Amino acid sequence: MTNYAAKEIKRLMGKAIYTLDMIRDGDHVLVAVSGGWDSMVLLWFLRERIKRIPIEYRITAVHVDPGFGANTAGRMETFFSDHGFECRIIQSDIGPKAHGPDNSENPCFLCSRLRRKLLFEMTAELGCNRLAFGHHKDDLIETFFLNVFYGASISTMLPVQEFFKGELTVIRPLYLVDEGLIKRYAMSMDWPEIDLGCPTAGSSKREEIKNMLKQFYMSNKKIKGNIFHALKNVNPDYLL
């Protein structure tokens, strides 16, 4: 099963990068590593890929400690050091700030926004022209429903998105990969899943969407694939 998961992740990630021209020769890629298995798998396979392709690029792992007091900075620094990754650690207070009394309704949105701001600043400091996130297929589907239910918009994450007039490109090389495949590989590697200490973890709107979708997936195994393909098969003539 480990070999199958590794082969599928490599195949799907390679397809995404090649088809959408995500990484080019000489790029410096900042890999945002939250501590979740998805971003750790992304970091691992981006480095592994360098050995198999005719181009070279540099990767730097960056972890933002949200400041909940769980010492994620220390644990992620140990992981990076043990496995020989170039890294930077950002200590912050974005978690408590996003969960303040003035923002009790949507702390996840603000926390994500503040984290991205810090990562953008770090890309400029390091001279990176690519910022890679570990978002996978399930994330794109869940984001679509979050935006419909709570944002009143039909949209989701983009696999490739340019910022600052093209000076920085955000990429999501795992966007074709199922979350279950990522979990299987990470568990086989016996990696720890770093707990950020977030007080709303497990009870967010995203978690509600995830649980709702699980019920649909259990009723029909084709539903996830159909939703994902629908994101690329939009008919604007039949939208208001």
Residue ranges covered by each domain of the chain: 2-238
What local confidence, expressed as pLDDT, does residue 204 receive? 82
Q: How far is CA 148 from the centre of its chain?
A: 20
Please give the single-letter amino acid code of residue 226. Answer: N
pLDDT of 102 reads 75
Other beta carbons within 10 Å of 84: 8
Q: Are 90 and 33 in contact (CB under 8 A)?
A: no
pLDDT at 36: 93
H/E/C letters for each residue in 200-230? CCCCCHHHHHHHHHHHHHHHCCCHHHHHHHH
**Which ranges constitute the DSSP H helices of 23-178?**
37-50, 72-82, 94-98, 107-126, 137-151
- Residue 91, classed as helix, strand or coil, is strand
CATH of span 2-238: 3.40.50.620
Tell me the mean pLDDT per 10 residues along the chain, length 240.
87 98 98 96 97 95 93 93 96 89 77 94 97 98 95 96 96 98 95 85 85 96 97 94
**Cα four-point dihedral sign 92, 93, 97, 100:** positive
Contacts of 236 (CB under 8 A, 6+ apart): none
pLDDT score recorded for residue 193: 81
Q: What angle do CA 132, 189, 48 make, to 5 degrees?
A: 45
Cα 204 from Cα 211, distance rounded (Å): 11
CB count within 10 Å of CB 40 equals 27
User: What are the CA-CA distances from residue 163 to residues 95, 126, 181, 208 (Å)?
Assistant: 25, 16, 30, 31
pTM of the model: 0.95
For position 101, what pLDDT does the model report?
78
The two tokens of residue 106 are 């949507």
